[in-house]
Structure 1
Amino acid sequence: MNWTPAAAPDGTDDREEDAALGPRAGAAAATAAHHHEVLMTITATVRLTERPRYSRTLPRAAKSARGARTLVRTALTAWGLDGIAGDGELVVTELVANTVEHARGHHVRVTLTRVGPGRVRIAVVDLSRTRPVRRAAGDDEVRGRGLALVEALTVSWGTDSKRWGKVVWGELAAGVVCR
């Protein structure tokens, strides 16, 4: 499959996001130790013309939520935003769980982008064009609360459609209580 870059609706070049599930291009890789001496590669992209970003491609599997949480904690700690790391871990867990349950393909891409002072966007990229729908789960249902949780923890969330799939994201802001 070929991944063709495209300009984002706001005019910025989102080449890495559009190529998220394809080969990596031009990003510097940093390796961090993970629990039980397993190594994890985290891609950190910082360019003078772009916002700081961390990203990681993971298998589309439930076990990937752990790696996604590690990425979130690593990025938020590096940016001095430890205070929102717990909420960030919950948000990325729910977004990855939705992708595992409803998307297609073998991999997902998790990105964290510093969008302003004290503000970060957590996004999960997948190959499904089906947009997630927030629903009200019944009291006896064990599923169906993920997007309600994302909505409660973030200052905003949404879905950006792409030719090849979608990006589901939520933004967190330090010092803002969303609940």
Structure 2
Amino acid sequence: MTLLSNVVRADASPQPDEGARVRPHSEPATACLPYRPESVAAARRFVATKLREWGLDDLLDDASVIVSELATNAVKTGCQTRMVVAVRRPSSRIVRILVGDGCRSMPAMVDVGPDRTSGRGLAIVHRLTRGRWGVTLLPLGKIVHADLAVAEPPS
């Protein structure tokens, strides 16, 4: 079994790219959710609402899978505080989904065999983001983030 993880040692919310234009209505959104299985569906609805507001309906399917996987992992940590789900636009070409929890255990991609029925979540996130995901450790937990590329508007 191979364990892999993308780790980010800096802030998971970088400044916008120089020269990048972000829509004026692209304010970030954050939600605090309890550590319960039904919070995964709430996280999906939360992210979908923000993406629709931004006119990024083409990202809904991938974002739904990503936030589901990250929120499910957070629920499984067994932490007793609240999970934080956020959506950001660090640039006009990136949507960043963040899920924070109160556990410092690092997520890891596991190379599982074809007979396993679980353990593929981070591999799916890795594939959907083309490897653009990572973890920021905090004093009392961590933030896992995943970046989706926004398609260039037709010229």
Normalising TM by the smaller chain, what interval?
0.7 to 0.9
Deviation, 1:106, is 3.6
User: Aligned-pair distance for 1:9?
Assistant: 4.0
- Displacement, 1:71? 0.9
How many residue pairs end up in the alignment?
Answer: 132
Give 1:103 deviation, angstroms. Answer: 4.6
Would you say the 8 A contact 2:10–2:136 is kept in 1?
A: no
Q: Is the 8 A contact 1:81 1:118 kept in 2?
A: no
Is there any run of 5+ residues in structure 1 with no aligned partner, and where? 1-7, 14-47
Runs ≥4 in structure 1, deviation > 2 angstroms?
Answer: none
Q: Give me the whole-angstrom Cα distance separating, in 2, the residues matched to 1:149 and 1:83.
A: 18
Q: What's 1:82 paired with?
A: 57
Counterpart-to-counterpart distance in 2, 1:125 and 1:90:
17
The answer to whether residue 136 in structure 2 is matched with residue 160 in structure 1 is yes
Following superposition of structure 1 onto structure 2, how do residues 1-179 of structure 1 map, counting pairs within 5 Å?
A: 9=10, 52-155=27-130, 156-175=132-151
Following the alignment from structure 1 to structure 2, what is the Cα–Cα distance between the partners of residues 58 and 66?
A: 11
3-state SS, counterpart of residue 44 of structure 2: helix
Superposed CA offset, 1:94-145 (max 9, x none): 0011111125124201000111113111010000011101101221111100
- Contact kept? 1:53, 1:111, Cα under 8 Å: yes
- Kindly indicate whether the alpha-carbon contact (under 8 Å) linking 2:81 and 2:102 is maintained by their aligned counterparts in 1: no
SS in 1 for 2:59: helix
Deviation at 1:164, TM superposition (A): 0.9
Q: TM-score, normalised by structure 1?
A: 0.68
**Displacement of 1:52:** 2.2
Any gaps of 5 or more consecutive residues in structure 2? 1-8, 15-23
